[in-house]
Amino acid sequence: MLTTNEIRQKYLAFFAKHGHAVIPSSSLLPENDPTTLFTGSGMQPMIAYLLGEKHAAGTRLADSQKCFRSGDIEEVGDNRHTTFFEMLGNWSLGDYFKQEQIPWMYEFLIDVIKIDPEKLYVTCFIGDAEYGLPKDVEAAKLWKEQFARAGIDAVEAEIGSEAAGYERGVKPGERIFYYEGKKNWWNRGKTGPTTTPIGDPCGPDSEMFYDFGTPHDKKWGEHCHPNCDCGRFMEIGNNVFMTYKKEAEGVFTPLPFPNIDHGSGLERIAAAANKQPDVFRLDIFSSAISAIEHSTNKTYGSNEEDTYAFRVILDHIRAATFLIGDGVLPGNKDQGYFVRRLLRRAVRFARKLGVANAIVRSVSEAYIEMYKVAYPNLDEKREAILGAIEMEETKFAKTIEQGLRELKKIVDRGNGVTGTDAFNLYQSFGFPLELTTEELQRSHNLKVDADQFALDFKKHQDLSRAGSEQKFAGGLADHSVETTKLHTATHLLHQALRTVLGDHVAQKGSNITAERLRFDFSHNEKMTPEQVAEVERIVNEQIEKDLPVQFEMLTVDEAKARGAIGLFGDKYATIGDKIKVYSIGDFSKEICGGPHVEHTGELGGITIAKEEAVSAGVRRIKAILGKKA
């Protein structure tokens, strides 16, 4: 049996042999990308380079990227869906293309990790006449040549839609299947040429599937095909041929140099390599399963209901462990909300297995041990992770007690429990609908109107969404005068914090509207009132000096030599690239794209309204224009 760690190592070594620089995984928290809360794909940190920016490591890159997809939370419970996963990736930034990628992937799968070629199936883009996008016969031809190496005559089949696949199924000898853009066209977000965001790189893709040979479940459709969800076929990777940029609706222009963006789920590759259709049977979950079995006296796989609960616990605690390791603490907003939701769902399903509390720590510890070599930060932050997890488990236990008391009051009224009652329990006390439903059924033989709950929940989501739309690309709500003033103030605030707290302070994000600024920064302790007052004093002192605000275009080396602060990550690492550096008198020098006022006196003054924790090692300041009276 190949372990997951061995497969990761073999993949990176394989592409290193083919001239790829192996780069580290980015954080699960995207840097300078306010359009999304989490890193959800291997290519997400690579967008700028796929659009033409140069990468310091060259034009051939490979990595194993940590990913989290919050939208998959409700999908967890089957044999293959997980919210957290690692994506094995390799990229060509205007270097090689299909002619190299497809033979390499076949070689890796068949020759390196020894997948049976008889079990491999692939899909290609069928084309789109409306948008003038051609059928990808080139990719199909290359796959056909690879299959021939194993003596397989790979027959091609035009499927088109997923629905058509369920109608016709797979005929003998068929290996290469053409699907429409919804299945074989890649871009960020929803797939397909029509839904590609304007300005994004995109192109046809070729997915790889492993056939476990399990019986087809007709609840999905009459016949099985590679994109069927019954579990027989598992997608193990996707080769994206980044060929175009969407310039306008219906207008796709060729990229000057096409790129390769390949991603294979590590766990799914491991499942295929070990002929194991259940990813939760892989070695990375074994010690966590043992921890749950020890706490519950139940066995994974013994029955369908318990197995579902095991999988939810296994997935959710692993995801929460990695998210907390990357700095997200459980909370009620933004990323923290999802960590809280993951942990509370895990606790709820532990209750289904007969354990009321104290299960989360042991499972998280098992993951830290399993991953500490590949991801040392988990071991380094062990106590912080376990402490945050235990605290959230304790809080949720109190929530359950309080929610049960409130539910009893509602039941005692004698008027039943409405969907709105259930939603109010959720909104006011964090008491999940599932617990309300279970408790009513178990103790009172009552049902709750889930449809009404859903309506109330949707109203709540719509209000939240309207609020979240005030968040914006680039950290700025707009380029109004007030927003521009507050954006300039963040430069003063950043330097003042470094002056008072130390040079370890670095910006971790900002959110600026015309009414206020929000500035996140690295610091391990709560600021004292005296420190907050001193930072505010220093900022206002610079404002009173009416310092000039100017920028220069400098190389990275020049910017560093002059003491500029900011994000000197891969995005700005190529020698010779020019970056914009703003100076505020002799007080502040920082990488930034603008906009800014011309003199600090235009700000008038600022007042720090609040200083608070965001997550482990990250603090937040909220400030407004104007001095305290």
- Give the SS3 label for residue 158: strand
Confirm whether 285 is domain-assigned.
Answer: no
Note down the domain range covering 17.
Answer: 4-279
List residues bridging with 244 in a β-sheet.
Answer: 202, 254
Helices (H), 413-470: 419-429, 433-439, 450-468
* Contact assessment for residue 547 and residue 598, using Cβ atoms and an 8 Å cutoff: no
Q: Are residues 153 and 213 in the same domain?
A: yes
What pLDDT score was predicted for residue 571?
41
Confirm whether 525 is domain-assigned.
Answer: yes
b/e 388-419 (16+ beta carbons within 10 angstroms → b): bbeebbeebeebbeebbebbeebbeeeeebeb
Q: Give whole-number Cα distances, 160 to 210, 330, 380, 507, in Å.
A: 20, 43, 49, 48
List residues bridging with 84 in a β-sheet.
Answer: 68
Confirm whether 287 is domain-assigned.
Answer: no
Q: How is 80-130 classified by DSSP, letter by letter? A: S--SEEEEEEEEESSS--HHHHHHHHHIIIIIIS---GGGEEEEEE--BGG
Q: Are residues 443 and 517 in the same domain?
A: no
| Alpha carbons 80 and 68: distance in angstroms, whole number | 15
Q: Are residues 24 and 76 in the same domain?
A: yes
Q: Are residues 527 and 406 in the same domain?
A: no
Domain end: 250, 279, 308, which one? 279
Nearest to 42 by CA among 284, 263, 309: 263
Confirm whether 527 is domain-assigned.
Answer: yes
Q: Are residues 455 and 503 in the same domain?
A: no
Give me the CATH number covering residue 513: 3.30.980.10
Q: Are residues 201 and 131 in the same domain?
A: yes
* Contact assessment for residue 207 and residue 184, using Cβ atoms and an 8 Å cutoff: yes
pLDDT tens digits, 425-440: 887 777 888 788 877 7
Give me the CATH number covering residue 224: 3.30.930.10
Q: Are residues 117 and 206 in the same domain?
A: yes
Confirm whether 343 is domain-assigned.
Answer: yes
What pLDDT score was predicted for residue 462?
66
* Contact assessment for residue 135 and residue 178, using Cβ atoms and an 8 Å cutoff: yes
Count of structural domains, the chain: 3
Q: Are residues 75 and 150 in the same domain?
A: yes
Domain end: 219, 250, 279, which one? 279
Confirm whether 365 is domain-assigned.
Answer: yes
End-to-end CA distance of the chain: 70
Peptide bond into 30 cis (omega under 30): no
Domain end: 258, 279, 300, which one? 279
Q: Are residues 546 and 608 in the same domain?
A: yes
10 Å Cβ neighbour count for 239?
A: 25
Q: Are residues 338 and 400 in the same domain?
A: yes
Measure the CA dihedral 502/474/600/564, to 10°.
Answer: 40
Q: Give whole-number Cα distances, 147 to 117, 120, 271, in Å.
A: 7, 9, 21
Count CA atoms closer than 13 A to 255's CA, side-chain side.
23
- Give the SS3 label for residue 192: coil
- Point out the residues of the chain with pLDDT beneath 50: 467-474, 568-576
Q: Are residues 102 and 203 in the same domain?
A: yes
Q: Are residues 339 and 247 in the same domain?
A: no
